[in-house]
Amino acid sequence: MDVPLYLEPRLESRLASLLRARTFLHTLAGGLGSPLNVVLPDRIAENLAAFRAVYRRHHLSGGIYFAHKANRSSALVRRLAATDAGMDVASVRELQHALGAGFAPDRILATGPKNGEFLWLAARTGTAVHVDSPGELDELAALVRDHRLPRVRVLLRLSGFRTPGVRLLSRQSRFGTAEGDLDGLLKAVERHGDAVELTGVGYHLDTTSPAEKAVALEGCVKALDTCRVRGFTPRAVDIGGGFGTDYLADGAQWQRYTTELTNAALGTRPPMTWRRHTYGLRNENGTLRGALALYPAHRPTAGARYLDELLSLPAPSLGRPLATLLLENLYELHTEPGRALVDQCGVTLARVLEVRRTQPSERSEAVDDRTSPGHLLVRLDANADDIGLEEHGVLVDPVLVPRTARPVPDTGPVAVYLAGNLCLEADMITRRAVHLPAAPRPGDLLVFANTAGYCMDFSADEAQQQPVARKAAVWQEEAADGLPQEDAPWHWCLDEQYWPHVPRRTKGTA
Ligand SMILES: Cc1ncc(COP(=O)(O)O)c(C=O)c1O
């Protein structure tokens, strides 16, 4: 094989220490089965603190609402309940979960399109509702009146923001109400004044582009100004989520990998993927068409740093930094980070069941034999729905954690395809050849790092009656300064048994 095309995961100190705890990880997987999700609740509190520090730097107040949809873990939610975080819930079950974890309704925001049950429980408990459409506002108001409930705090979700002139700069969304229809929406809020109280406006844009978000943020400030002219007193701008995560340790690996993927699509290098999958690229008579349908796995400016950068951008038409714009109006900033708040908060373990060479016919379709004498098919005791990295377009290598301490046979780097445990051709955990420093053996674990954001339990189901992964919460003893000691022993409990009050030394050590 030529130079291996690694995409090594970014592992900060806690995750790196966990991955070095070979016996601990094997004991957990031995006891709880494969696949197994492992979450690190203390890390989510650190991520929250990084977001809060950005608020402080810009002298802004407001809520940081964890977008619960990113992960179902009770431990993560309960750990957040012990901080000043809020919760962004997108279903009635998520709302119940947040309430049960200790979040009072004034720390919860109900977002996304809602059904009657979700609206009722939000209204009954006094949870603020981020209204998705005029119809939803009518339904909420009717429900409040019918059940004689107190007025419900509402924010209006807007979309389709424009800069002056006709150039549409922010992305279209199927959610929210077009900014241009604000007038009609405010008439509805006036009509429903006995049932709802307008506290803010907001957006969530499915884009990584700070420029598009700057247009939307400025649009929200202007919308708040309009609301105030109309006699309302909202103060919050909710800028949704989408702050992103940097999955990779080395940006140069990402550049090299994507360049080679492009070359493979053009046919100027051997294929790198299962059955010539091209991740959205195509070769039309020697011209590259399409676009790489992948998450930008290397994002040096992600999470809290992305928020910092966005707030420092000049407002597209008003010119002042966006943070200044908020501050001079005494507006609050709400954020709904999902993926970014669970960065480095979890891993998924999968046991290797079988390692075999691909059949010649499979090889000829899938790989080039000139460069790769050793393509292997590795079958894991997990399926593609358990490890959603590929589904979410995140390309990152798993880490091999051998079963025994005896040295791994020096096979040298290998390219492997990772297949799942379903009796289904399509059940490939990755559709690309993954380069590993050594060949795995049955009984080893492959550890997929940083799966807590959408890639752990978002799509997990019981196809073929394979068990859904269990979840364990893990933590390390802390030194006197409150920081984890590097390679201190790891402790664990089942996710649903984790509560923040329990002293850090009393649960199981594997
Ligand atoms: C309304 C809303 N808020 C927040 C988020 C979280 O986004 P992310 O996980 O990219 O931060 C989403 C994701 O879909 C969303 O729809």
**208 and 355 assigned to the same domain:** no
Instruction: Report CA(174)–ligand 1 centroid distance (Å).
Output: 14
**165 and 222 assigned to the same domain:** yes
**140 and 276 assigned to the same domain:** no
For residue 23, give the CATH number of its domain.
2.40.37.10
Asked if residue 79 is part of any domain, the answer here is yes
Atom of ligand 1 nearest to the CA of 70: 9
**302 and 241 assigned to the same domain:** yes
Which residue is listed with tokens 């009717």?
142
Choosing from 313, 334, 355, the residue where a domain stops is 334
Atom of ligand 1 nearest to the CA of 338: 9
Give, for ligand 1, the residue of 171, 201, 208, 336 to mutate: max count of ligand atoms closer than 8 Å to Cβ.
Answer: 336
Give yes or no for residue 176 CB within 6 A of ligand 1.
no
**469 and 330 assigned to the same domain:** no
Residue 239 tokens read as 């800028």
Give yes or no for residue 338 CB within 6 A of ligand 1.
yes
pLDDT tens-digit series, residues 118-136 = 999 999 999 999 999 999 9
Asked if residue 326 is part of any domain, the answer here is yes
Residue 508 has pLDDT above 80, yes or no: no
The residue whose CA is least distant from atom 5 of ligand 1 is 241
Instruction: Give the span between the Cα atoms of 334 and 55, in whole angstroms.
Output: 10
Instruction: Give the span between the Cα atoms of 328 and 403, in whole angstroms.
Output: 59
Asked if residue 261 is part of any domain, the answer here is yes
What are the residues whose beta carbons fall under 8 Å from the beta carbon of 478, sequence distance 6 or more?
484, 485, 488, 504
Please give the residue range of the domain that contains residue 428.
13-40+345-509
Residue 19 tokens read as 């991955």
Atom of ligand 1 nearest to the CA of 242: 10
Instruction: Report CA(172)–ligand 1 centroid distance (Å).
Output: 15
Asked if residue 285 is part of any domain, the answer here is yes
Q: What is the mean pLDDT of the chain?
A: 92
| Residue closest to 328 by CA, chosen among 237, 209, 239 | 237
Instruction: Report CA(112)–ligand 1 centroid distance (Å).
Output: 9
Task: Determine which helix (DSSP H) or strand (DSSP E) holds 131, and give its type and residue range.
Answer: strand 128-131
Asked if residue 1 is part of any domain, the answer here is no
**104 and 33 assigned to the same domain:** no
Please list, residue by residue across 2-20, b when 16 or more beta carbons sit within 10 angstroms of its beta carbon and e when fewer do: eebbbbbbbbeebbbbbbe
Q: ∠ at Cα 8 (471, 486), nearest 5°?
A: 60
Bridging pattern class, strands 445-449 and 346-357: antiparallel
> Does the reported pTM lie above 0.75?
yes
Q: How many domains does the chain have?
A: 3
pLDDT tens-digit series, residues 222-253 = 999 999 999 999 999 999 999 999 999 999 99
Amino acid letter, 218? E
Asked if residue 378 is part of any domain, the answer here is yes
**100 and 28 assigned to the same domain:** no
Give yes or no for residue 112 CB within 6 A of ligand 1.
yes
**166 and 78 assigned to the same domain:** yes
Asked if 350 contacts 374 with a C-beta cutoff of 8 angstroms, the reply is: no
pLDDT tens-digit series, residues 138-184 = 999 999 999 999 999 999 999 999 877 656 566 777 888 888 899 99
* Cis ω for the linkage preceding 35 (within 30 of 0): yes
What are the residues whose beta carbons fall under 8 Å from the beta carbon of 492, sequence distance 6 or more?
24, 28, 38, 472, 473, 474, 475, 507, 508, 509, 510
**181 and 91 assigned to the same domain:** yes
Asked if residue 319 is part of any domain, the answer here is yes
Helix, strand, or coil here: 197?
A: strand
**106 and 152 assigned to the same domain:** yes
**187 and 83 assigned to the same domain:** yes
**445 and 487 assigned to the same domain:** yes
Give yes or no for residue 243 CB within 6 A of ligand 1.
yes
Asked if residue 46 is part of any domain, the answer here is yes
